[in-house]
Structure 1
Amino acid sequence: MIIKLTQNHAKELAKLHLKKYRTLHKKTIVEGVRLISQLNDYGINFDELIICDKSEFDTSQYSAKQSFIASQNQMKKITTTKTPQNIAAVITIIHIPIKQTQFLLYLDGITDPGNMGTIFRTATAAGVSGIILSPDCCEIYNPKVIRASLGSVFHLPSETREHNWLKSLQTTIVATTLEDSTNLFELSKPASLMLVIGSEAFGVSKEILQLAKHKVKIPIPGNIESINAAVATGIAIYHFINK
């Protein structure tokens, strides 16, 4: 049964735009037909489904504990895009533990939501085993990250670990850096790989560089200082999966 969304409920949903409320309630809000359809394909259960009263979406394909109909003004309050797509959903945040370790990413200080989401999306497409995040990375359940990842943050296993955790690994650590590094394309994929990507501002930390067996860079023949972190990650991932 679809019921009318109250103003008080709309205000509570809008609070999920803030990290502290997402953390408190262990829930987040997603929006848009494409994103919600992808999450549905992943088998994600929706706690709530909110549809604008002006839309004509067929929501029978989506399974939700409760469905609501909302006004356009309410949709503007509970969504974050400039042009709301007239459908949103609330989902419970569930962390998927990493079980396979053949090819992992370690993201060191990635704070841009767009880059973070793009890296998750690319890693999912390429079949990466999972992503490890340093504690200073941006929150992956930020709406911008979710949109950029096309929902893959709810599908690809991920964990948050300190730098020291890398010391205990029985895997080959390959770090990307412009200093004292060799050509990425000359390195074959190790049997077990941890690929480390640093932030555009600070790069990979010195502590991790000391642990790395290989330090690599992507050749840049053009007149530009560096490549966007998400783009560089995609190039490196596909280099290794094709080796």
Structure 2
Amino acid sequence: MGNNRILTINSVQNEKVKTYASLLEKKHRDRSGKFLIEGVHLVQEALMAAAAVETVVFDAERGMPSELEHLIADSGCELVEASPQVMAKCTATDTPPPVFGVVAKKDVDSGTLYGASSLVVVLDGVRDPGNVGTIIRSADAVGADAVVLGKGCVDLYNPKTVRSTMGSLFHLPVMEGDLAQLLPAAKEHGIRLAGTSLQAEDTCYSYDWRGATWLLLGNESSGLSEETLAQVDDRIIIPMHGRSESLNVAMAATVVLYEALRQRRYSF
């Protein structure tokens, strides 16, 4: 593993361990500006994306996963081998992973949101970590410019949210922001705000996604807040031809984003 010096920690009472474990709680993530990533895949994605990985901790009994060795050697991050008890204390899964990392949060420049052809996904009160993670993955898959989490959304750096992004968190700008400020600013830049609504004039297929557009998606049960709806320029609906009442918000996001991708890249 190159020139990385390896620190060994066996006790769950170690101060470093207490610091790592504290990042399972939002208040400590907010205070420190750091969060945890768990498992080989996430650590691999973070290192390959040159994220600010400060520390990588691996299970001393299982050893450093071979997939990470060359990435670790080039990273210069702190390396810690830890007992299984330490691994269990610092991670949020029932079965502790063989490795976890401590990563500094990345500041996202809100200027990246206002491009001339930007496609941005904006979440308003989406509370389920799995939904938020899946939406970030779908936004990544279609090449969207950014994802914004407004107030009332689950914490972006909640371990469940981070895990469910499957590494897409490191592939595109994802930020938490105040929609009361960001949405009017988008309109000033000539960006259309399109929100899903049952009282819509357009389907997601008849709507023109080729210009600068932000897709607004609301809470799983109550939809977009009144304040956000008041900012929406265009309301769209996903047509339903079977007997299902609605789609999960992450599925709905994926359907709409792929139609936007089709229009932008594949309309002949």
- The interval holding the TM-score normalised by the smaller chain is over 0.9
Residue identity opposite 1:26 in structure 2: G
Moved more, 110-119 or 183-192: 183-192
Partners of 2:251 and 2:94 in 1: CA distance? 26
Residues 1:114 and 2:130 aligned together: yes
Q: 1:190 to 1:172 in 2, by over 3 A?
A: farther
Aligned counterpart in structure 2 of residue 162 of structure 1, from 167, 173, 179: 179
Counterpart in the other structure of 2:53: 46
Q: 1:64 to 1:201 in 2, by over 3 A?
A: farther
Residue identity opposite 2:119 in structure 1: F
Q: C-alpha displacement at 1:222, in angstroms?
A: 2.0
Q: C-alpha displacement at 1:28, in angstroms?
A: 0.9
Structure 2: give runs of 5+ residues left out of the alignment. Answer: 264-268
Q: C-alpha displacement at 1:3, in angstroms?
A: 1.4
Could you list the structure 1 runs, at least 4 aligned residues long, displaced by more than 4 angstroms after superposition: none
Counterpart in the other structure of 2:162: 146
| Aligned residue runs from structure 1 range 1-243, under 5 A | 1-5=5-9, 6-7=11-12, 8=14, 9-56=16-63, 57-58=65-66, 59-62=69-72, 63-98=75-110, 99-100=112-113, 101=115, 102-159=118-175, 160-168=177-185, 169=187, 170-243=190-263
Q: TM-score, normalised by structure 2?
A: 0.85
Q: 1:64 to 1:147 in 2, by over 3 A?
A: farther
Corresponding residue SS for 1:28: strand
Q: C-alpha displacement at 1:69, in angstroms?
A: 0.7
Q: C-alpha displacement at 1:107, in angstroms?
A: 0.9
Contact kept? 1:49, 1:88, Cα under 8 Å:
yes
Contact kept? 2:200, 2:237, Cα under 8 Å:
no
Aligned residues: 243
Corresponding residue SS for 2:71: coil
**CA-based RMSD:** 1.7
Partners of 1:114 and 1:75 in 2: CA distance? 23
Partners of 2:79 and 2:198 in 1: CA distance? 51
Q: C-alpha displacement at 1:93, in angstroms?
A: 0.9
Q: C-alpha displacement at 1:132, in angstroms?
A: 2.2
Q: C-alpha displacement at 1:141, in angstroms?
A: 0.9
Residue identity opposite 1:163 in structure 2: A
Residue identity opposite 1:4 in structure 2: T
Partners of 1:164 and 1:92 in 2: CA distance? 25
Contact kept? 2:46, 2:53, Cα under 8 Å:
no
Partners of 2:231 and 2:248 in 1: CA distance? 24
Moved more, 94-103 or 229-238: 94-103
